[in-house]
Amino acid sequence: MSAAPIALAERRPALHRLATFLYLRPWLVLALLLGPPLLWMTLVYLGSLAALVVQSFFSVDSSGQVVRSLTLATYGDLLTPANLDIFVRTAVMAAAVTLATALLAFPWAYYMARFASPRAKAALYLAVLLPLWSSYLVRVYAWRLILAKEGIVNWFVHQAHLDQALDWVLGLPVVGGPSLSVSFLGMFIVFTYVWLPYMILPIQAALERVPRSLLEASGDLGARPAATLRHVTLPLAFPGVVAGSIFTFSLTLGDFVVPYSLGNSSFFIGQAVLSFTGTAFNIPLAAAFTVVPMLIMGVYLTGARQMGAFDAL
């Protein structure tokens, strides 16, 4: 009854020897897999970051040459009212954009996670990801055209006889401006649009991880759907919101394309850095400007970790 065991194919003994060699040495496989990316990470990324940080401790003399001696004077230059304005402006915009994307993304992600049929879900995924396949710059400029005085938003407002309302909004201090395409309000709208996919996906992933039995248990114990949302769904989805907020916050902090396209002379951090590496040549100051958002994000990430945003990893 016992048949002879079927022999394994032995067509390429050298390759098999290599495979066995690697199989018995998992540490070697790990080293080979991680080596190149780690090398890139250390030399290129961390190295250039280090160079940047070191630059921020240098200074510029009166003739515009970089003085390579360590000093805190450049950081002192950050503390002028104009520069502090830049930081506050950028941070407030980042916070506002984060809040807006969270509020918009949650219903969308909730629908995707809980109600969409598999086919609908695939279509919605596509709808969320498709904009990311096109050029970021093109999208921002498209919005500039949409929001311009001659653009389609204005046309709709005019058709709906809401011109006065729009004028009132544009007349508001700080957020208003000559038109939607040159105002903080316009920037806010475009930021929210471009970063929305980065908020939808983490929230949707977090919501999908909530087991259905938890929601049934909540209902079984007497909670109406609104109470279940408040006590069970939202707390469990919150780490997804935090994860998404890391993207929206940090991307807004560093961006210069949107403020440049839809802004005026009130600089954001990105524009300030660009100007100091360009026309107003002051590399150490540019570096110092860059270090500030790094520190802000460091604090933010630590807080996010405390709140469990990385638990799923």
Looking at residue 132, the DSSP 8-state letter turns out to be G
Q: Is 307 in the site for another protein (CB under 8 A)?
A: no
Number of residues that bind another protein (CB under 8 A): 17
Among the residue ranges 94-102, 154-162, 217-225, 284-292, the one whose residues contact another protein (CB under 8 A): 217-225
Interface with another protein in residues 176-195 (CB under 8 A)? none
Residue with the two structure tokens 């005085």: 149
Q: Is 305 in the site for another protein (CB under 8 A)?
A: no
* Structure token pair of residue 162: 């809401």
Are 270 and 255 in contact, with CB atoms under 8 Å apart?
yes
* Structure token pair of residue 83: 């520069």
* DSSP-based three-state secondary structure for 228: helix
Site string for another protein, 224-263 (x = CB under 8 A): x--x---xx--xx---------------------------
CA dist 155 and 147 (Å) reads 10
Q: Is 217 in the site for another protein (CB under 8 A)?
A: yes
* H-type alpha helices, 43-116: 47-56, 73-78, 81-110
Which of 254/308 has CB closer to another protein?
A: 308
Which of 35/235 has CB closer to another protein?
A: 235
* Structure token pair of residue 30: 């790990």
Q: How far is the CB of 114 from another protein (least distance, A)?
A: 15
Which of 151/219 has CB closer to another protein?
A: 219
Q: Which of 300, 307, 310 is nearest to 98 (CA)?
A: 300
Site string for another protein, 106-145 (x = CB under 8 A): ----------------------------------------
Q: Is 312 in the site for another protein (CB under 8 A)?
A: no
Q: How far is the CB of 311 from another protein (least distance, A)?
A: 10
Which of 224/305 has CB closer to another protein?
A: 224
Q: Is 280 in the site for another protein (CB under 8 A)?
A: no
Residue type at 52 in one-letter notation: L
Q: Is 222 in the site for another protein (CB under 8 A)?
A: yes
Residue with the two structure tokens 């909004």: 169
Q: What is the dihedral of CA 255, 260, 266, 269, to 10 degrees?
A: 20
Q: Is 211 in the site for another protein (CB under 8 A)?
A: yes
Which of 63/213 has CB closer to another protein?
A: 213
Q: What radius of gyration, in Å, describes the C-alpha atoms of the chain?
A: 26
Are 252 and 135 in contact, with CB atoms under 8 Å apart?
no
Residue type at 171 in one-letter notation: G
As a three-state string, the secondary structure of 14-34 is: HHHHHHHHHHCCHHHHHHHHH
Are 206 and 236 in contact, with CB atoms under 8 Å apart?
yes
Among the residue ranges 119-127, 141-149, 197-205, 215-223, the one whose residues contact another protein (CB under 8 A): 215-223
Phi, psi of 72 (to 5 degrees): -100, 10
CA dist 64 and 54 (Å) reads 18
- How many C-beta neighbours within 10 Å does residue 148 have? 17
Q: How far is the CB of 213 from another protein (least distance, A)?
A: 4
Q: How far is the CB of 108 from another protein (least distance, A)?
A: 23
Q: How far is the CB of 222 from another protein (least distance, A)?
A: 5
Q: Which residues bind another protein (CB under 8 A)?
A: 211, 213-214, 216-224, 227, 231-232, 235-236
